[in-house]
Structure 1
Amino acid sequence: MNSTDKSPVKPNQCLSYRAAGHAQSLLQQLCMLHSEKTFCDATIIVGSQIFTAHCVVLSACSQYFKVMFCGGLLESLSKQVELHGVEAAVFDKLLEFIYTGEIDITSENVQDLLSAADMLQIPEIIQACCNFLRSHLHPSNCLGIYKFASARSCIELCAACDVYTHMHFLQVIQHDEFIELEYTELLALLSSEKLRIENELQVFKAGLKWILHDATQRKKCLVQILDRVRFPIISCEELFDYIETHCTNLNIKVALGALLAEYNPKRRFRKSSNRPPTYKMKPRLSARKYLYVIGGYNREPGGCWSNNQTLESVDRLDSFNRVWNSKPKLNHPRSSHTVETLDGVIYAIGGEDDLLLYDSVEAFDPLEEKWVMKSPMTVPRSGHCSCVFEGAIYVFGGCIGTEIGQTIEYYCPKRQKWRESGKMLSPRTSFGLIESEGLVYLFGGMTAVGAELRTAESYNPITKETASLADMRSRRIGCSAVVIDDNIFVVGGSNARKGALNTVEQYSIINEKWTTLPCMSTARTGARTATVNGLLYVVGGRTVNRGFGSAVTFLDTVECYDPRTQCWTNLDKMSVARCEAAIAVL
């Protein structure tokens, strides 16, 4: 093309070009220059070792070095820095990261790396170390990690440790870090509304344990520690029984008797004229258990089965104030499903909607207030049962397609995968199930040939062995089971002979025998049960009378049973009637 030819490119045109691998290539070339010690103009002395590097590279990655080399300090002229408080091996790893963007963080070096990165102000390493520590939080180390993070102003890691400590308080107090807490740290912890406890007596036990670890030095803290405990909501008998049997220091026992005299059940006139503060008359916020009643189905009075409506709504009962309110809906309407609570998250598993069986699973985090989808089961299931065992969710039987299943599968949240795990003694659906002390107990249900069961069996998730137990007194389909102490309660259900049942049977795990308890006020099948603070809650279900064409009533009622008084109490109704819903306690 000669000078008289016009350019084939129109004027004012522009191409924005970005080389995809340019940044990585540049880093590789800088690393090569560093390894060859080419153009290195900075000398870093760490102990007896000398490292060389490029001032511009160090300054770009570390605010500490940027100030050293660009801030008019002596080092900006000499280009030589002597580091104290950092080991040579640790700095070597940090220098390798600066030139490669890669580093191996282990449980052995994470604290040294974080300390050095904090001093040198390398934010990527700080974040990576904090993420590593957060993923390795445990009841035995969360308090120590909190102190370590607090000293380095790692705010997000401190917050994660704080949440973990409160959620796992009952496990944390079993480890050495708890009894080694400073006095002020203990008071702050015992004062918190966020302690995840079952009852206030556990807070007293924790404070007493801390004192007894070094009674001579810590007895002076007794009054302040007792002030953090909400004694008005503790059973006086249980409190003084514990003091009598577990307080091994005579001086502390005498002091407790005097300081807590107004709660001593053996004293005829023990009540103080001073009314406790209002907050001490209520459970802590995280100790106030909530019952989440999730999904299910119902239909209008007089309707037929084709008019069934599967529900996606969620009702929550505050077990302390006994008030209902609505929570975010499921992503998919579900009935004949199960729910389990694991690490503060509710999982809704399987179920059906208008005869469409689900293998899907969704999870609800109360802190985020939304449902998110999780890994599906290996097969769709409806009318199955589930439980939590050693950090995994186990699912048993149910309707699998057109068949009644016998298989067991489990889900590990860390792996986010479902895997098969053995079989029950026989296929069954619409049965009751509960886990207690490492064994899973199964009750009643219906077989593959439609037989109604009164049988019971146990399953060991570790050995995968099953064993038959004593039969129940009634055949039960659609029953529900809970455990309180060493007793299992099997509630309601139905059979062809009697229709819906209002009976309750109790199985003693120790004595291996069944006994009959007082009946519910309403016969229920497809109801769901839960326990809170030693009370048994029965929610929803439907009544089914004998005979063809008998009327079916769907229930929005709730009953509560107290094993100590052996009495049933009717509570406020749910917002809507629910049958074959699922219930979780948080």
Structure 2
Amino acid sequence: MVQVVCQDVEKRAVKMMEELYRMKQDEDHCDFIVQVGNDIYPAHKNMLSAGSDYFRAMLKHDTKESREGRIVFKDVDSDCMKNCIDFIYSSKVEIPDGKNIELLHVAIILQLEDVKHAISDILAESITVDNYFSTRNIADIYGLVDVALRCRMFLQENIMEIANQAGFGSVEKGDVSSSLKAANRKLLEEEKLELSLKWIETCEKKKEYLHEFLELIECDGISPAFLQKLLETYPVIRNDSNLYKLITGHLPESSAELIKRKKLIVIFDDEENSILSLNPITEKITKFHNAKITEEDRFSVISYQRYIYILCDNQSVHRLDIGRKNAKWQRMEDMICDHGGLPRSVLFCGSIFLIGGSEELVTNDVERFDPSVNRWFPLRNSPTAICNASLVSLNDSVYCIGGETRDGFQISSFYRFTPSSSEWIILESMRYPVSGCGAVAIDQKIFVTGGWRGDDTINNVECYDVTSAQWTSLSSMNFEHGRNAAYHIGNWIFVLDTFVVERDVIEKYDLVNKIWCSIKMEEDQSFSSYGSAIVKI
């Protein structure tokens, strides 16, 4: 007997696969039909059985499909079915644009493990912050263990960014705990606490886990100022005395005591050349500090931590340590640019930001002051040269509201500036043009009060919802307020005129009952305000 041996088995196998694929394409000797909707794909039973456990189980028995030589699929993508059948013949698969999940679905039905693993690898390598939750859901639905593991690793590495996504509340408690443990060297203790609060506030029942999270955080590393910010930012703490006590109970005694400081509104009274304070509870104005107002003629006021800063017409900057009774004004580094007599400023992430000009000076200059190093840094200019715009910070951005252009007209423009990327974005304009208005951010809303429209002061109030990106009008104030400042304390918004003479009325808005109330100053308490700021004592 003569035995013939093929010298290149692999080459012959490839040739046979190519020939079988050609036979399928030419419908040569095909004995089975795969149908999806109106699309028909001829094939060979033997090839389908050899390449797919699904078809093998179907065709080895006396099933309806085996007898009729046809199977009809519903709720699958036709192109993906064709590609999977082609894979059985060629060991190659093409993924239609944007249809990797549809192809995965068909591959799992046909039990094509190689295709399933190939798509799993693609998903695992393509995880981003934006698609994290959709990828994780796909891994759960289709049992993709490797993808689920990569999602868990990605979560630990990018937990702070993912916490800002809408689906963060769906993250399992164990994954949050694991991320806190795994991030011991990457996250600051303050970030860990804020991360925990973001997750807890998504569901009332999650409050019970805060104690467990706090055990994973070195609370000695959390500053009182940061904790105070969290208390003001997250209603879940502000409205729950038990959570408040739980958090403060993990702080050093001195820090826990410090965050109980009350808020006051300090007022620079030009007439008396003194610094006054308004107590929001008693609604009384009293002398706040012994220091006299600086000799500079015109300035705006802002506070940060234990200091009050004044930003002057001649670009000089001064600060006062309000924690020291006999403190004197300290000269800081001058501003880089001229922002007019009443520079428009806002505090964001421990820095003071200035945008545009004030009074009659129109400019698009933007700069940032870092108090920790006493330095100003130039930033990307605003899209439009403006003056007398109002500024407020919220989340990761600074918002620029209204103002005036070079022709002297008020505008309704509304911009968002993200310092981390130096990106300016134009948002939906306000309903009316305005300049010199007050602005304050509360939760995910920005309240805009009064201001100037043309030559008239107004009492209008608008509110911008950051989540829905829409403006709405609220009930008007009882009085008209031109250039003014708005402050959030407790359940109230306080509105004070800025740079006015003999103002004897302050207004406050009840956020719960949505009504405006007037605080009438006693005859000996009227003041001529150069500016104001909010401080904690």
Match of 2:512 among 559, 564, 569: 564
Aligned residue for 2:286?
325
Per-residue CA distance 1:173-209 (angstroms, 9 max, x = gap)? 79623499xxxxxxxx9xxxx9996587576315446
- The 3 A distance-change label for structure 1 pair 407 and 380 is closer
Aligned to 1:344: 306
Match of 1:367 in 2: 323
Q: Work out the CA distance in 2 between the residues paired with 1:412 and 1:284.
A: 24
Q: 2:242 aligns with which of 184, 187, 204?
A: 204
Matched residue type, 1:205: L
Q: Deviations over 1:528-553 (max 9, x none)?
A: 2111113100113589xxxxxxxxx7
Once residues 174 and 362 of structure 1 are traced to their aligned partners in structure 2, the CA distance between those partners, rounded to angstroms, is 42
Structure 2 residue 384 is matched with structure 1 residue 426: yes
In structure 2, distance between residues paired with 1:432 and 1:210: 35
For residues 477 and 210 of structure 1, the distance between their equivalents in structure 2, rounded to whole angstroms, comes to: 41
CA contact (8 A) 1:312 1:333 kept: no
Partner residue in 2 for 1:291: 265
Q: Tell me the equivalent position of 2:453.
A: 495
Mean CA deviation greater in 194-203 or 432-441? 194-203
TM, length-normalised to structure 1:
0.47
* CA gap 1:528/1:206 in 2 versus in 1, 3 angstroms: closer
Amino acid at match of 1:461: P
Q: Which residue of 1 aligns with 2:86?
A: none
Cα-Cα RMSD: 3.7
Structure 2: stretches of 5+ with no match in the other structure: 1-186, 191-212, 252-256
1:476 shift after superposition: 0.9
Which ranges of structure 1 fall in alignment gaps of 5 or more residues? 1-137, 142-171, 181-188, 214-224, 226-282, 298-308, 351-356, 544-552
- The answer as to whether partners of 2:366 and 2:382 remain within 8 angstroms in 1 is yes
Aligned pair 1:471/2:439, yes or no? no
State TM-score, norm by structure 2: 0.51
Aligned equivalent of 2:275: 314
User: 411, 420, 426: which is aligned to 1:453?
Assistant: 411
What is the aligned partner in structure 1 of residue 489 from structure 2? Answer: 532
Are residues 1:573 and 2:517 paired? Answer: no
Distance 2:229 2:386 in 1: 40
SS of structure 2 residue aligned to 1:204:
helix
Q: CA deviation at 1:284?
A: 8.8
Distance change >3 Å, CA 284–CA 566, structure 1 → 2: farther
**Alpha carbons 1:524, 1:541 under 8 Å: kept:** no
Deviation, 1:418, is 0.9
Q: Distance in 2 between matches of 1:469 and 1:173?
A: 38
Contact 1:388-1:435 within 8 A present in 2 as well: yes
- Aligned position for 1:78: none
How do 1:512-531 and structure 2 match up within 5 A?
A: 512-531=469-488
Contact 2:364/2:383 (8 A) holds in 1: yes
Secondary structure of 1:348 counterpart: strand
Q: Quick one: structure 1 residues 426 and 200, their matched pair in 2 at CA, closer, same or farther if it must change by over 3 Å? A: closer
In the TM superposition, residue 293 of structure 1 has moved relative to its aligned partner by 1.9
Write the distance in 1 (CA, Å) between the matches of 2:411 and 2:436.
11
C-alpha contact 1:431 1:478 (8 A) present in aligned 2: yes
Q: Pick from 343, 346, 353 the counterpart of residue 384 of structure 1.
A: 343
Q: CA deviation at 1:461?
A: 0.9
* Distance (whole Å) between structure 2 residues aligned to residue 333 and residue 569 of structure 1: 34
Distance 1:173 1:515, change over 3 A: same
- Given that residues 540 and 578 in structure 1 are in contact (C-alpha distance below 8 angstroms), is that contact kept between their aligned partners in structure 2? no
Q: Deviation of residue 577 (structure 1)? A: 3.6
- Equivalent position of 2:534 in the other structure: 584
Q: List aligned pairs for 1:69-84, cutoff 5 A.
A: none
- Distance (Å, rounded) in 1 between the aligned partners of 2:408 and 2:480: 22
Answer yes or no: is the 8 Å Cα contact 2:458–2:480 preserved in 1.
Answer: yes
- Do the aligned residues in 2 keep the contact of 1:384 with 1:431 (CA within 8 Å)? no
Is the 1:557–1:577 Cα contact (8 Å) retained in structure 2? Answer: no
Match of 1:67? none
SS in 2 for 1:555: coil
In 2, distance between residues paired with 1:387 and 1:406? 16
Describe the shift of the 1:580–1:424 C-alpha distance in structure 2 as closer, same or farther (beyond 3 A): farther
1:481–1:196 Cα change, 3 Å: closer
For 2:324, the aligned partner's letter is E
Q: CA deviation at 1:505?
A: 0.6
Larger Rg: 2
* CA distance, structure 2, for counterparts of residue 200 and residue 513 of structure 1: 26
- CA 1:206 to 1:179, structure 2 compared with 1: closer, same or farther past 3 Å? farther
Secondary structure, aligned partner of 2:373? coil
**Match of residue 352, structure 2, among 371, 393, 397:** 393
- Alpha carbons of 1:173 and 1:434: their partners in 2 closer, same or farther (altered >3 Å)? farther
Q: CA deviation at 1:452?
A: 1.2
Contact 1:363 1:372 in 2 (8 A): yes
Contact in 2 for aligned 1:361/1:373 (Cα 8 Å): yes
Aligned residues: 309
Work out the CA distance in 2 between the residues paired with 1:449 and 1:174: 59
Pair 1:174–1:460, CA change in 2 (3 A): farther
Identify the residue that residue 255 of structure 1 maps to in structure 2.
none
- The DSSP-based 3-state class of the residue aligned with 2:243 is helix
Cα pair 1:490 1:504 within 8 Å, conserved: yes
Pair 1:405–1:293, CA change in 2 (3 A): same
Change (3 A) 1:463 1:284: closer
Q: Deviations over 1:366-411 (max 9, x none)?
A: 21133322222113333432122222111111149x7411111111
Asked if 2 retains the 8 angstrom alpha-carbon contact of 1:493 and 1:526, the reply is yes
Aligned to 1:76: none
**Alpha-carbon spacing, 1:559–1:524, altered in 2? closer, same or farther (3 Å):** same
Q: 1:521 to 1:377 in 2, by over 3 A?
A: same
1:415 and 1:451 mapped to 2: Cα distance? 38
The answer to whether the Cα contact below 8 Å between 1:526 and 1:580 also exists between their aligned partners in 2 is: no
**Distance in 2 between the 1:317 and 1:294 partners?**
11
Asked whether the 8 Å contact 1:410–1:420 carries over to 2, the reply is yes
CA distance in 2, matches of 1:313, 1:571: 21
**How far is 1:478 from its partner?**
1.6
1:453–1:140 CA distance, 2 compared to 1 (3 A): same
Shift of 1:287: 3.3
> Aligned in 2, Cα 1:515/1:416: closer, same or farther, shift over 3 Å?
same
Residue-by-residue CA offset, 1:248-274 (whole Å, 9 max, x unaligned): xxxxxxxxxxxxxxxxxxxxxxxxxxx
8 Å contact from structure 1 (residues 195, 286) kept in 2: no
Contact between 2:338 and 2:357, CA under 8 Å: does it hold in 1?
Answer: no
Shift of 1:286: 3.7
Whether the aligned pair in 2 keeps the contact of 1:484 and 1:534 (CA below 8 Å) is no
